[in-house]
A and B are shown apart, each in its own frame.
Chain A
Amino acid sequence: MEQPALIPHLFRTEFSKITAVLCRAFGIAHMELAEDIAGETFLTALETWPYKGVPDNPTAWLYVVAKNKAKNYLQRNQHFAEKIARQLKEASRENEMADINLSDENIADSQLQMLFAICHPAIPKEAQIGLALRILCGFGITEIADAFLTSKDVINKRLLRAKEKLREEKAVMAFPGPAAINGRLDTVLTTLYLLFNEGYYSESQDAVIREDLCLEAMRLTYLLIENELTNQPMVKALFALMCFHASRFEARKTANGEIILYQDQDETLWNDELIARGARFLHEASQGERLSRYHLEATIAYWNTQKEDTAEKWDHILQLYNRLLQLAYSPVAALNRTYALSKVKGKEVAIAEAEKLQLTRNHYYFVLLGELYTGIDNNKAVQYLEQALGLAVTLTDKRTIEQKIAGLR
């Protein structure tokens, strides 16, 4: 019997598509109704398939059932149907009636519009990511809670508030006009970037979820590339960045989920195909006027796919961080820039600059100082690493720091 594996797989891929299309038809204010109908569709599958067998084309079957359920609902709730028809006429001139169209094209459009709707400036970033995971990636509440290392309750509340906010703000599912699209695209890309990072740096023990988060972020970014309106250099740069990072999936964690540091990774495990794909998109991203943080970060990630420690490599990385920090400051970038500086100008110069950063609540700051003092003053290095240990929260970070201390003693 295939069902146990088939249904979760279909749920992951089709739930979000059905929800997006229904939401487009009903209006985003009725997101919960769309989710309910999509959910009931799967329930019907679960009730039917074990007895009648899995249909030849399960996806098509799901679409037909979802469509029928939506139509039934509208028939049973004439009042609601009229309200929706009115709203739709106000919201978009194209859709005359709540047309539930599950063609590939409409699915892609609906998902993109949903992405733009969810990335609403009035909704906190964390909630945007949560909503994207639920509505666009078909993640269960438990999985989202696991990825954020929090409880189901917290996630449920967060999503509920975000949906209320969308209603209050009267968000609509439509592409922003040409003038507004760039501003909105920035928010969308930030959310996708954070979604990817959530998976890449997640402390969740579930390796499958971690990778799925990254792959979903890549899939949604690719949706933007496939659409003429949003296929912009900045989007390609972000996709390239994701490809370069994803190329190290296999190499960066042990079977137990422990992080393997970059310099200790087995580069034969790096995925050449993804590196080549990243390089292609980075090349394509170089057209256009605007240099975004994603261009800079993708180029840094590209240099990191060259394992050999050449002067040229570190020189480029340093200059890229110099520019990145002017465009988008972050403590991580400041620390990485200082590490690159040590590779170009030596540890003494980097120590002087590192001490100016004063990121004294960040354990990576002390890890960096420990690293820089190693070989210059090992006692000092140990002191800094112990400070780092005191500030580190996650088990993985603590273990890595302990290993460094042990190596110095």
Chain B
Amino acid sequence: MDEFMLIFRHEDGNKVASPEQIQVWMKQTMDWIGGIAAQNKFSGGNGLAFEGSKVVKHNSVVTNGPFGEIKETIGGYVIVKAGSVEEAVEFAKGCPVLQGDGNSVEVRKLVKGDGVH
């Protein structure tokens, strides 16, 4: 069993959702994660706040947030256990982030550090 990180990419991190939308989205995310956890395949995860984010560049140049320059921003991630990348992709398909047009979920296998991967 391998671990995969599902990285949520939002097309526009500046979009402000209403509290009601956030409430609905939160519940959907919890149900989605609950479904993965019910299969004992959830390893962890977290949301990443857009507010107060900084980008540190070459020569210690610090700018506010990645927004503006980069089109996509990362909104959060979860780590799942899966037997294959296909299985991880099936989990990713249920991610509520994908309801947003232009959003995507990147599926990446975690390096085990066993010399093979």
A residues adjacent to B (C-beta < 8 A)? 318-319, 321-323, 325-326, 329, 333-334, 337-338, 341, 353, 356-358
Contacts and interface: CB of A to CB of B under 8 A. Distances in A.
Interface string B77-112: 000000000000000000000000000000000000
21 contacts: A318-B31, A318-B34, A319-B34, A322-B30, A322-B37, A323-B30, A323-B34, A325-B42, A326-B34, A326-B37, A329-B42, A334-B37, A334-B38, A334-B39, A337-B38, A341-B31, A353-B35, A356-B38, A356-B39, A357-B38, A357-B39
Listed from nearest, the 7 A-B pairs whose CB atoms lie closest are A322-B34, A325-B37, A334-B38, A329-B40, A322-B30, A326-B37, A337-B38
A326 B42 CA distance: 7
B33 interface: yes
Contacts of A357: 38-39
A334 B38 CA distance: 4
Contact of A322 (B31, B39, B40): B31
A358 B39 CA distance: 8
B23 to A, nearest CB: 12
A338 B30 contact: no
A317 to B, nearest CB: 11
Contact of B33 (A326, A341, A353): A326
Nearest to B90: A356
A221 B31 CA distance: 33
Interface in B1-57: 27, 30-31, 33-35, 37-40, 42
Given A319-B34, A326-B33, 10 more contacts: A318-B31, A319-B27, A321-B34, A322-B33, A323-B34, A326-B34, A333-B38, A337-B34, A341-B31, A356-B39
Contacts of A325: 34, 37-38, 42
Nearest to A335: B38
A319 B35 contact: no
Nearest to A331: B40
A338 B34 CA distance: 9
Contacts of B35: 353, 356
A318 B35 CA distance: 11
B36 to A, nearest CB: 9
A334 B31 contact: no
Contact of A329 (B27, B33, B37): B37
A333 B40 CA distance: 10
B27 to A, nearest CB: 7
A321 B34 CA distance: 7
Contacts of A323: 30, 34
Contacts of B42: 325-326, 329
A390 B65 CA distance: 59
B106 to A, nearest CB: 22
Nearest to B43: A326
B27, B31, B42 — most chain A CB neighbours (10 Å): B31
Given A322-B33, A326-B33, A338 B38 contact: yes
